[in-house]
Amino acid sequence: MPKVKIPRKSTIVDMTAMCDVAFLLLSFFILATKQKPPEVMAVTPPNSISAKVAPDKAILITMTKDGRAFISLGDETRKADILKDINTIKQLGLTPSELAKWGKTEFYGLPLNQVKSSLALSDPIPPIKLPGIPISDTTNNELTDWLRSVTNVFAGEDQKQLQEMLLIKGDGEVLYPVFKNVKRAFKKNQLFKFRIVTNGEPVPIGSELYMDSKKK
Amino acid sequence: MAEMDTSSGGSHKKGPGVKKGKKLSTRVDLTPMVDLGFLLVTFFVFTTTMQQSTAMNMNEPKDDNPEEQMKVKNSGAMTILLGKQDQLYYYYGQLDPATLSEQFKSTSFKEIRQLIVDKKKATPIDDLMYIIKSDSSSNFKNAIDILDEMAISAVPAGHYAEVDITPAEALMIRETEAANGIK
């Protein structure tokens, strides 16, 4: 009987191709992930089990640790309308060129009566040094004025869309009265639904909600 | 790609006296590099999806006219008060000056979940009401955390509400804080 000779093959596999794939994927993920805009305001939001993703272009109210409040107005066209509206209502007396300059700001955190003078400065004030929108005074809560202009601009549109765009982001250490003042500004404008930016976390195992979701 | 063919030169005979040099393979083991590559890939995949911030819905009541405010049954009400340093205080029903010190208890975020669930199980769902009151010394995180606790314990919407704190309750918190040595 002739013996069948099985040729012995090396078990070494060429890793080059695999290496190429790995690094191709790596570079793809690095390039494809959206670069987060650098956080101007260092804010650590609290955690919640909510799984809804916060929208990017939003009317965002930021509360910093030291209790200052800022507003950012989302997409450019609306922003210009909102600024125009607040300019006429609060009689800030800004010229069109000043308005355009004002529109370039991302975080608004100045008392309205200081806006005109701040626009005359050659360098804009860095966001960290802004005093914040005055909210502590119940009679002159300027966030109310801001939100009034926001509602004015969105008046003819789908209110549900606006609700989804209204976001409050706050540092966990902000004292409750600050949050209450912000809420008050919302309520004064008949805005009862808004959203809080949080860091997502999983539903704790063994909790009621966890059991409920298991049953389904 | 990463290997070079070095075998071709090996076959032809060298002349006499020429010593055979030891041939080192230029083949590099790429396995660790592949490992590293995939490790980085997984790292990037995980970190990017987890960093997404989420949004929690919030419904505020229209509190213009107090007459419209819901009447809550004493037996079904649990009031949770938020204090300084992540401290929580709670009482059932209404605060009665006679039994104040027995009613008013302090707790923490670790224990509140069980208390919420216990109350939920002990009360008919129609009567159930959690009233959340934040003291001015509590922080934003506490306010969100307690709302989150409600969601975690699957308390149906409309069975919990945020209400302004009364001066009497604020005073009770102050006194309890002083007694417990919380600054």
Closest CA to B37 of A3, A53, A18, A62: A18
Structure tokens at A196: 């809080």
Pairwise CB contact (< 8 Å): A176 & B151: no
- Nearest chain A residue to B142 by CA: give it: A172
Structure tokens at A216: 């389904």
Using an 8 Å CB-CB cutoff, list chain A residues near B152: 49, 203-204, 207-209
Structure tokens at A212: 């409920």
Over the stretch A34-82, which tens digit does the pLDDT of each residue have? 666 656 667 777 877 777 777 777 788 888 888 788 888 777 777 777 7
Pairwise CB contact (< 8 Å): B142 & A49: no
Closest CA to B164 of B142, B144, B136, B139: B136
Asked whether B71 and B123 are in contact (CB, 8 A), the reply is: no
Q: How far is A100 from chain B (nearest CA, A)?
A: 31
Asked whether B133 and B104 are in contact (CB, 8 A), the reply is: no
Residue B41 placed within a domain: no
Interface test with B, best of A19, A41, A171, A182 (most B CBs within 10 A): A19
Could you give the angle at which helices A142-153 and A76-89 cross, rounded to 10 degrees?
120
Q: Would the pLDDT of B102 be above 60?
A: yes
- Nearest chain B residue to A53 by CA: give it: B54
Q: How far is A101 from chain B (nearest CA, A)?
A: 30
CA distance A181 to B140: 12
At residue A216, the pLDDT reads 66
Residue B36 placed within a domain: no
- The more confident residue out of B16 and B93 is B93
Asked whether A98 and A75 are in contact (CB, 8 A), the reply is: no
CA distance A48 to B136: 22
Residue B126 placed within a domain: yes
Q: Residue ranges of the domains in chain A?
A: 47-200
Number of domains in chain B: 1
Task: Place B12 in a pLDDT band, splitting at 50, 70 and 90.
Answer: low
CA distance A84 to A149: 9
Residue B59 placed within a domain: no
Three-state SS annotation for chain A = CCCCCCCCCCCCCCCHHHHHHHHHHHHHHHHHCCCCCCCCCCCCCCEECCCCECCCCCEEEEECCCCCEEEEECCHHHHHHHHHHHHHHCCCCCCHHHHHHHCCCCCECCCHHHHHHHHHCCCCCCHHHCCCCCCCCCCCCHHHHHHHHHHHHCCCCCHHHHHHHEEEEECCCCEHHHHHHHHHHHHHCCCCEEEEEEEECCCCCCCHHHHHHHHC
Closest CA to B116 of A45, A194, A201, A204: A204
Closest CA to A184 of A151, A139, A131: A139
pLDDT above 70 as % of chain B: 80
The segments of chain A whose pLDDT lies below 50 read none
Residues in chain B, how many? 183
Q: Which CATH number belongs to the domain containing residue B93 in this structure?
A: 3.30.420.270
Contacts of A138 (CB under 8 A, 6+ apart): A181, A184
Residue A21 carries which side chain, given as an amino acid letter? V
Q: Which domain holds residue B123?
A: 73-180
Pairwise CB contact (< 8 Å): B56 & A183: no
Query: Which residue from A15, A193, A200 is facing B58, i.e. has the nearest CB?
Result: A193
Residue B121 placed within a domain: yes
Interface test with B, best of A15, A62, A190, A199 (most B CBs within 10 A): A15
Pairwise CB contact (< 8 Å): A187 & B63: yes
Pairwise CB contact (< 8 Å): B41 & A25: yes
ipTM of the complex: 0.72
Residue B31 placed within a domain: no
Residue B28 placed within a domain: no
Residue B47 placed within a domain: no
Using an 8 Å CB-CB cutoff, list chain A residues near B50: 200
Query: Which residue from B51, B57, B134 is facing A176, i.e. has the nearest CB?
Result: B134
Using an 8 Å CB-CB cutoff, list chain A residues near B55: 50, 52-55, 167, 195-198
Mean pLDDT of B64-91: 75
Kindly report the pTM of this predicted structure. Answer: 0.71
Task: Place B13 in a pLDDT band, splitting at 50, 70 and 90.
Answer: low
